[in-house]
Amino acid sequence: MPLLMRSLILPPADVRSHEAGSFLAQLDDQTERLTEDTRALTPAALAWQPAPGLNTIGMLLAHIAIVEVFWTQVGPLRLTAYECESVLGIGVDDDGMPLSEGGLPPAGLAGKDLAFFDDLLARARRYSRRAIAALTDADMAAEIHRTRRDGSAHDTNMRWILYHMVEHTAGHYYQINLLAHQYRIRGA
Amino acid sequence: MAPRLETLLEAPPGFRSPAVARFVWQLDEQRRVLLDDTRGLSPADLEWQPAPGMNSIGMLLAHIAYAESHLSQVGLEGKATSDTRAAIGLSEDEEGMPLAPGAPPSPALAGHDLAWFDALLARAREHTRRVAMTLTDEALAREVHRLRPDGTERVFNLGWVFYHMIEHEAGHHGQINLLRHLRRNPGAAS
């Protein structure tokens, strides 16, 4: 029987802004595919480093969750102080990124299984979903000014933040697939 | 004075639809950072594989251009099939993906320099932009039905096509950056 593959970016019904909902649908598509592609990963695969100084899949998964919470706070929630421990149970630096040259993965992620990382991602999405769903069309044009950790200024807008959440997830998701491939064929 | 970073996603002029224009802004921003990150790569860097059967940076750049050209033809234009050879000078076979286990990079890409890949990407974007400028807001909801060679029916809308072009380039850009990092760490190759 022929198969049917449907790929439609449709904003969820419970959002106030169609445009914000489109970004949310894009994030959900990323998560659905990321989840599917990571099902077979063991704790050893999640903690595997191609070499010292390089990220593990586990670090990347934690990083995706942390960054999603961070940008939700900067953009949709318009906070001026940022933390993710109350949302995820881990802090902003607990992904260990950026790893120093020759660095090893953070001890806090050692031995964690896929369920741990799934939970981080699910918590991040619950948090961002609530905030993005509340955005109006007028909010989408809002400009946001913040001071970065290094003291430099960042002038951005809500649209860029939502776009960045999607492209950031995609970049690391594809890296995870590359690392998983490299892990499978290592030593071959 | 402290340094200042500005990232404002805005609709560029010249498009019939502001929503389509914003998608093209995102594509162009992806391209800007991809080009930034690939400056200085030599032909040897571009065809380096971490291990046989793994994609090279050159293959990924070619794949980004090929996929964009294919998607803009069958997705945005609604053509039954694409002719990427005519549009950008590269066919599906020549881009070489997916690579068979243990295979070397696509021979069609051997020895090409960065300028060659840049031109490939530029031709794909030029076509996408030309088509996108004609699209209306309503076109984003238009559904396209395609029957694949394996009998699968594929249904997508134009909003998904733009999203997929963006996430596809972002994702492979992420892989290119990882390959650059692996290339600098010889011990990391399989």
Instruction: Look up the ipTM and state it.
Output: 0.96
Overall fold of domain B28-36+43-184: Four Helix Bundle (Hemerythrin (Met), subunit A) (1.20.120)
Mind listing the pLDDT tens digit for each residue in B125-139? 999 999 999 999 999
Interatomic CA distance for residues A13 and A37, integer angstroms: 27
Instruction: Closest CB to B9: pick one of A157, A179, A181.
Output: A157
What is the model's pTM? 0.96
A51 touches chain B (CB under 8 A): yes
- What pLDDT was estimated at residue B186? 67
- What pLDDT was estimated at residue B190? 59
Contacts of A22 in chain B (CB under 8 A): 159, 163
Q: Give the 3-state secondary structure of residue B65.
A: helix
Contacts of B21 in chain A (CB under 8 A): none
Task: Check if the beta carbon of residue A145 is closer than 8 Å to that of residue A157.
Answer: no
Mind listing the pLDDT tens digit for each residue in A72-97? 999 999 999 999 999 999 999 999 99
> Domain of A85: which CATH number?
1.20.120.450
Give the residue-averaged pLDDT of A87-111.
97
Packing angle of the helix pair A158-185, B158-184 (nearest 10 deg): 50
A30 touches chain B (CB under 8 A): yes
Query: Is A51–B164 a contact, with Cβ atoms under 8 angstroms apart?
Result: no
Alpha helical stretches, state H, A48-93: 57-74, 85-88
Tell me, what DSSP letter sits at residue A50?
Answer: S
**What percentage of chain B carries pLDDT values higher than 90?**
91
Q: Is the pLDDT of residue B58 over 80?
A: yes
| Domain hosting residue A88, numbered range | 38-185
Q: Would you give the end-to-end CA distance of chain B in angstroms?
A: 46
Give the chain B residue nearest A33 (alpha carbons): B167
Q: How confident is the model at residue A9 (pLDDT cuts 50, 70, 90)?
A: confident
Averaged pLDDT score across all residues of chain A = 95
B54 touches chain A (CB under 8 A): yes
Torsion sign, CA atoms A149, A159, B175, B86: negative
User: Is A20 among the domain residues?
Assistant: no
Mind listing the pLDDT tens digit for each residue in A120-171? 999 999 999 999 999 999 999 999 999 998 899 999 999 999 999 999 999 9
Q: How confident is the model at residue B189 (pLDDT cuts 50, 70, 90)?
A: low
User: Is A22 among the domain residues?
Assistant: no
- What pLDDT was estimated at residue B38? 98
Query: Is B188–A54 a contact, with Cβ atoms under 8 angstroms apart?
Result: yes
Structure tokens at B1: 């004075």
Residue with tokens 């913040």: A146
Of B15, B17, B112, B3, nearest in space to B59 by CA: B112
Interatomic CA distance for residues B144 and B134, integer angstroms: 17
Of B189, B142, B148, nearest in space to A4 by CA: B148
Interatomic CA distance for residues A123 and A140, integer angstroms: 24
Phi/psi of residue B161, nearest 5 degrees: -60, -45
Contacts of B171 in chain A (CB under 8 A): 170-171, 173-174
Q: How confident is the model at residue B106 (pLDDT cuts 50, 70, 90)?
A: very high
Chain B nearest-CA distance from A93, in A, is 21
Chain B nearest-CA distance from A84, in A, is 23
Q: How confident is the model at residue A188 (pLDDT cuts 50, 70, 90)?
A: low
Q: Is the pLDDT of residue A104 over 80?
A: yes
The one-letter amino acid at A122 = A
Q: How confident is the model at residue B2 (pLDDT cuts 50, 70, 90)?
A: low
Instruction: Closest CB to B170: pick one of A160, A170, A179.
Output: A170
| Cis, bond preceding A106 (omega within 30 deg of 0) | no
Interatomic CA distance for residues B137 and B158, integer angstroms: 10
Give the chain B residue nearest A3 (alpha carbons): B152
The number of CA neighbours under 13 Å toward the Cβ of B150 is 5
- What pLDDT was estimated at residue B57? 98
User: Is A110 among the domain residues?
Assistant: yes
Chain B nearest-CA distance from A136, in A, is 16
User: Is A25 among the domain residues?
Assistant: no
- What pLDDT was estimated at residue B147? 87
Give the chain B residue nearest A187 (alpha carbons): B190
Which 63-92 residues of chain B touch chain A by CB within 8 A? none
- The residue extents of the domains of chain B are 28-36+43-184
Phi/psi of residue A77, nearest 5 degrees: -90, -15
Phi/psi of residue B92, nearest 5 degrees: -60, -40
Interatomic CA distance for residues A124 and A11, integer angstroms: 19
Which 60-119 residues of chain A touch chain B by CB within 8 A? none
Determine which helix (DSSP H) or strand (DSSP E) holds B120, and give its type and residue range: helix B114-132
CA distances to A24, A132, A170, B175, B189 from B163, rounded to whole Å, are 12, 18, 11, 18, 32
Packing angle of the helix pair A57-74, A114-133 (nearest 10 deg): 20
Of A147, A97, A130, nearest in space to A20 by CA: A130
Q: How many domains does the structure of chain A reveal? A: 1
Task: Check if the beta carbon of residue B95 is closer than 8 Å to that of residue B59.
Answer: yes
Q: Is the pLDDT of residue A2 over 60?
A: no
Mind listing the pLDDT tens digit for each residue in B169-186? 999 999 999 999 999 986
